[in-house]
Amino acid sequence: MALIVHKYGGTSVGSPERIRNVARRVAKWQRAGHKVAVVVSAMSGETNRLIGLAREVQAEPDARELDVVASTGEQVTVGLLAMALKAIGVNARSYTGPQVRVLTDSAFTKARILTIDAERLHADLDAGTVVVVAGFQGEDRDGNITTLGRGGSDTSAVALAAALKAEECLIYTDVDGVYTTDPRIVAEARRLHTITFEEMLEMASLGSKVLQIRSVEFAGKYRVRLRVLSSLTDPDMPLEEEAASGTLITFEEDPTMEQAAISGIAFTRDEAKITLSAVPDRPGMAYQILGPIADANIDVDMIIQNNSVGGLTDFSFTVNRSEYAKAMDVLNEKVKAHIGAGNVVGDARICKVSVVGIGMRSHVGIASIMFRTLSEEGINIQMISTSEIKISCIVEDKYMELAVSSLHKAFGLEQAPAK
């Protein structure tokens, strides 16, 4: 008998029928003797609808009130799932985030979980009740409702698993595991049986939305055993088979496996590039450009500065697309004239494509394969950044699919051909 946390995403609870299927699956685990805590997202499309509604009323919605609105989607699904469980004879109770004291900081729309009060849930679980907890939401110290950022139910689930000291956290979703890249973009993508925590962290941070990055950070910090698997299989399939399916996030490399150079490819359209041209090349320039950007609470990702010609240089960096307009305003109003730069040019038609793999530590020439592949496709690289286990390139966004699929092929990540 173990304590297990299940998490079901939007598609997995997208209709009354799917919710009934989730209930059957949860019942199967409970009847096998496990204590089950379930975290659910809002029904698919619901959070977008709620945010859209808020924007219709206030163009730039007040962040506190936006969280009041956006968090309601999950309240619906916890109630419905508890009903579906009761309907098949399983004791269940639904809880909102604040009801189980998911305490967060006060950063509305992107709050971080600080603590969860596990006592009440343990009492229910010990009494044989399935607890159904709303993902994506919590409350701050003043009792304000907060949300955890898009995709935040993953983080709710892992944080709950850590607080409850659960044996495993199972993330049920609309794909049957973590793939070498998003299977919606590359049909030949292959499911990974395991992926190391470090690689998953890079994949998530570089745009693979299968897990929210903070959930992976939590799993690392609290050593939560984490598995991604399908919610769309037969809910009555044998439990042992289900428990071993999907992708396990591991903390150690498998020494018996020959390490592939690259494990996966991530991509994102969430960034925009900004270039200041004809910047005087003298000490303190990067600080004078990026200081005001940091003061405006804008995160910078990649940075590139060209060699200076005649004492002038170009300085480019990327920011999240949602902060692009704000960053342009800061540069135009506070930086350009102050440092005597020529021009501020923005480009939101970019994407970032990254190859990730701990095998990079022992394989040489990965960067050159990546650059050669992109060049053979006629794709110009605008910016490059590297770490020990990843290489990222900024390219024009119209080439995103082509870049991802050609790199997938170049690194031999395709599905093994059927026998």
Q: Which residues bind ligand ADP (CB under 6 A)?
A: 9-12, 41, 151, 173-175, 178-179, 181-184, 208-210, 264
- State the nearest-atom distance from the C-beta of 267 to ligand ASP, in Å: 19
Picked from Mg ion, ligand ASP, ligand ADP, none, the partner binding residue 150 (CB below 5 to 8 A depending on kind) is ligand ASP
Picked from Mg ion, ligand ASP, ligand ADP, none, the partner binding residue 73 (CB below 5 to 8 A depending on kind) is ligand ASP
- State the nearest-atom distance from the C-beta of 9 to ligand ASP, in Å: 6
- State the nearest-atom distance from the C-beta of 154 to Mg ion, in Å: 6
Binding mask 176-215 for ligand ASP (x = CB under 6 A): ----------------------------------------
Q: Hey, what are 267's tokens?
A: 């991509």
Burial of 337 (0-12, 13-18, 19+ CB in 10 A): exposed
| Residue whose CB is less far from ligand ADP, 6 or 34 | 6
- State the nearest-atom distance from the C-beta of 252 to ligand ADP, in Å: 21
Write out the binding residues for Mg ion, residues 142-181 only, by CB under 5 A.
151
Picked from ligand ASP, ligand ADP, Mg ion, none, the partner binding residue 61 (CB below 5 to 8 A depending on kind) is none
Picked from ligand ASP, ligand ADP, Mg ion, none, the partner binding residue 136 (CB below 5 to 8 A depending on kind) is ligand ASP
Binding mask 116-135 for Mg ion (x = CB under 5 A): --------------------
Write out the binding residues for ligand ASP, residues 357-416 only, by CB under 6 A.
none
Angle, helix 197-205 to helix 213-222, in steps of 10 degrees: 160
Picked from ligand ASP, Mg ion, ligand ADP, none, the partner binding residue 86 (CB below 5 to 8 A depending on kind) is none
Amino acid at 165: K
Binding mask 126-165 for ligand ASP (x = CB under 6 A): ---------xx-------------xxxxx-----------
- State the nearest-atom distance from the C-beta of 256 to ligand ADP, in Å: 23
413: CB partners within 8 A, 6+ apart: 180, 181, 188, 189, 190, 260, 262, 264, 265
Closest residue by Cα to residue 78 from 65, 91, 60, 96: 96
Tell me which residue has its CB nearest to ligand ADP: 9
| Residue whose CB is less far from ligand ASP, 63 or 285 | 63
Q: 346 pairs with which residues across the strands?
A: 274
Determine the size of the site formed for ligand ASP (CB under 6 A). 13
Binding residue (CB under 6 A) for ligand ASP from 3, 6, 10, 266? 10
User: With contact defined as beta carbons under 8 Å apart, do 407 and 391 qualify?
Assistant: no
Q: Hey, what are 143's tokens?
A: 């009792």
Tell me which residue has its CB nearest to Mg ion: 151
Picked from ligand ADP, Mg ion, ligand ASP, none, the partner binding residue 97 (CB below 5 to 8 A depending on kind) is none
96 touching ligand ASP, by CB under 6 A: no
108 touching ligand ASP, by CB under 6 A: no
| Residue whose CB is less far from ligand ADP, 209 or 336 | 209
Write out the binding residues for Mg ion, residues 7-46 only, by CB under 5 A.
9
Binding residue (CB under 6 A) for ligand ASP from 11, 41, 129, 406? 41
9 touching ligand ASP, by CB under 6 A: yes
Q: Hey, what are 198's tokens?
A: 């470090």
Exposed e or buried b per residue across 240-267, where buried means at least 16 C-beta atoms within 10 angstroms of its C-beta: eebbebbbbbbeeeeeeeebbbbbbbbb
Residues that bind Mg ion (CB under 5 A): 9, 151
**What residue ranges bind ligand ASP (CB under 6 A)?**
9-10, 41-42, 47, 73, 135-136, 150-154
